Chains A and B, each alone.
Chain A
Amino acid sequence: DTVLTQTPLSSPVTLGQPASISCRSSQSLVHSDGNTYLSWLHQRPGQPPRLLIYKISNRFSGVADRFSGSGAGTDFTLRISRVEAEDVGVYYCMQGTQFPRTFGQGTNLEIK
């Protein structure tokens, strides 16, 4: 299985300040079709996950432009340019290149 390792596991951030989360894969996420299926999801307490970013850097419909994704191969980053109160919760990276699909262990974003 492809293991995704996120850092940090917890991230206290001041409102209005930037935040970033790293996701490292145990193997390349480049698919045979040339795409890299690394995505980011956000989960607030008691809510289902919500897709933020797909294929490394594409924002899903309705996602604020303060969220951005970057990376290649095995190393990826989610950045929030200015954290807002509604951004609290757990962020997961996920790979859709290999079966079984796997998720990172999650990063808990909290406000200082």
Chain B
Amino acid sequence: QVHMEESGPGLVRPGETLSLNCTVSGYFISSGYYWAWVRQSPGQGLEWIGSFHQNGKTFYNPSLRGRVTLSLDTSKNQFSLKLTSLSVADTAVYYCTRAAVGSFDYWGQGALVTVSS
């Protein structure tokens, strides 16, 4: 069974950079699949942030205007999200997830990130 867990700061100041990690157990991320981040603003729906593969192929949501970088650390079986130039609109629960069968099959519990001064 694949288990995923997000980690990172709960509070970030406007203008700063958010860094989140997702640790995966039960599957080696170097073995395949795309790995992704999805966020959900309070009381709102789901927004796909981006997906990437170990082979380097990466896709980002254009709505985030080049502020996103995804990366992975196979030695830790972990992948990461960096989101720059934060504003209050980036306050959300951030989920890491595995992209498979044209959807997202396994999800972390989510990490609440609040952008506030």
Binds A, one of B7-15, B70-78, B83-91, B104-112: B104-112
Measured CB to CB, the residues of A under 8 A from B are: 31, 35, 37-39, 41, 47-51, 54-55, 58, 60, 92, 94, 96-97, 99-106
Tell me how far the C-beta of A53 lies from the nearest C-beta in chain B, rounded to whole angstroms. 9
Chain B contact-residue range equals: 20 to 34
Main secondary structure of the interface of B (DSSP, over half): strand
**Residue from B38, B51, B62, B103 having most chain A Cβ neighbours under 10 A:** B103
Residues of A within 8 A of B95 (CB): 48-49
Nearest A residue to B101 by beta-carbon distance?
A: A54
In contact, A39 and B46 (Cβ under 8 angstroms): no
Judge whether A100 and B62 touch: CB under 8 Å. yes
**Is B48 part of the binding interface, using a Cβ–Cβ cutoff of 8 Å?**
yes
Given A49-B46, A96-B103, 9 other A-B residues pairs in contact with their CB atoms under 8 A: A48-B95, A48-B107, A48-B108, A49-B104, A94-B103, A96-B101, A103-B46, A103-B47, A106-B46
Q: Known interface pairs A51-B103, A96-B99. Does A103 touch B110 (Cβ–Cβ under 8 Å)?
A: no
Residues of B within 8 A of A35 (CB): 102
User: In the complex, A35 Cα to B38 Cα: how many Å?
Assistant: 23
Taking a contact as CB atoms under 8 Å apart, the answer to whether A100 and B102 are in contact is no
> Which B residues from 49 to 102 make CB contacts under 8 A with A?
51, 59, 61-63, 95, 99, 101-102
Contact partners of A47 in chain B: CB under 8 A: 109
Chain A contacts of B38 at CB under 8 A?
49
Output the least CB separation between A91 and chain B (Å).
11
